[in-house]
Structure 1
Amino acid sequence: MTAEEQLYRRAIRITIVVIAAIAVIGAAVAWAVVGAAGAVAALVGAGVAALGAIPTQVAMLVGHTKPPHVMAGIVAFSWLGKMLVIIVALLLLQGVESFHRGAFAATAVTGIVASLVVDIMVLRKARIPYADPGT
């Protein structure tokens, strides 16, 4: 297993743990403040955060050994796919009367920002050369 592969796997594991914690905490807080509808909305928000973060990390794990144009395609299509799913989900949730948008937004934004922090922290500690030796 290469250093890059270990890096991407570590980022995925940490992101899953962090978003799961945000889901539990967000749902508990939303339940206490708003009720069951808020807890459901917070869980959906955590799911959206996971859908926003994890596919990109998996695409990097899959594509890092491929030629640059193939890796770019994998990352681009994973991004496009998750955006389409998120847009469709948001359109469907728009019509749900009891859906608490505040709990959803707070959890989704917290999860997405946390996943970015995970990516930055993991990448900062990585020792991956960006130049080929001897070239």
Structure 2
Amino acid sequence: MTSPEKSATPTVGAVPDQLAPLRAAVRYGLVGLIALTVISAIIATSLAGLPGLWGTLIGAAVGGGFILCTVVVVLSTAHSNPGTAGAVLLGSWLAKIIVAIVVMVAIKGMTFYDKYALVGTIIAAIVVLLSAETYAILKLRVPYVDPMPESGQNDKK
């Protein structure tokens, strides 16, 4: 006799939790970003010294913060109406772009960081975080439709 297979989808009552994949994406993204930052810091510091470490830290903050902020905004506006959610998402994108440009312009002429470590970490952070988020969303199976009504409770017109 085999036991029934447990669902990989967290449920709230009888309806699956629709926000579970987004929470998992944030969790996996943070773990991936921390791992990337440590590995990148070790490599960049061994190759470029202290400027490599600074380049890695700035790159992880800019690249990782940019991607994780989007997931957090989507998660926080999940229960809002579509117009509000869209406006907040677009506003957050504008704010993130402005912050990224300001940071890059502010450090442009400075020499305390390694430019290769910065760019490499930004690119790696984007790839790692998008991969972690994709994995989280694909791993958790949440239905896109409402469950069928129980027998005997069908709509009658």
| TM-score (norm. length: structure 2) | 0.78
> Per-residue CA shift, 1:57-87, capped at 9, x if unaligned?
1111111121111111121111111111111
How many pairs are equivalent? 134
Alignment match, 1:44: 58
Matched-pair identity in %: 28
RMSD between aligned residues: 1.7
Which of residues 90, 102, 106 is equivalent to 1:88?
A: 102
Supply the distance in 2 between the matched residues of 1:113 and 1:19 (Cα, whole angstroms).
10
Unmatched runs of 5 consecutive residues or more in structure 1: none
Cα deviation, 1:22-65, whole Å, max 9, x if unaligned, reads 11111110110111111111111111122111110111111112
Q: How many angstroms apart in 1 are the aligned matches of 2:146 and 2:79?
A: 14
How far apart in 1 are the matches of 2:143 and 2:87? 23
Which aligned runs of 4 or more in structure 1 are off by greater than 4 angstroms? Answer: 131-134
* Mapped pair 1:69 → 2:83: yes
**How many Å separate the matches in 2 of 1:128 and 1:84?**
35
Residue 141 of structure 2 corresponds to: 127
Higher helix share: 1
State yes or no: 1:31 paired with 2:36.
no
Larger CA Rg, structure 1 vs 2 = 2
SS in 2 for 1:4: coil
Residue among 110, 115, 133 paired with 1:101: 115
TM-score, scaled relative to structure 1 = 0.89
One-letter identity of the residue aligned with 1:42: T
Are residues 1:4 and 2:18 paired? yes
Give unpaired runs (5+ residues) of structure 2: 1-11, 149-157
Determine the C-alpha separation between the residues in 1 that align with 2:64 and 2:128: 10
Report if the CA contact (8 A) 2:52-2:113 is conserved. yes
**How many angstroms apart in 2 are the aligned matches of 1:61 and 1:38?**
34
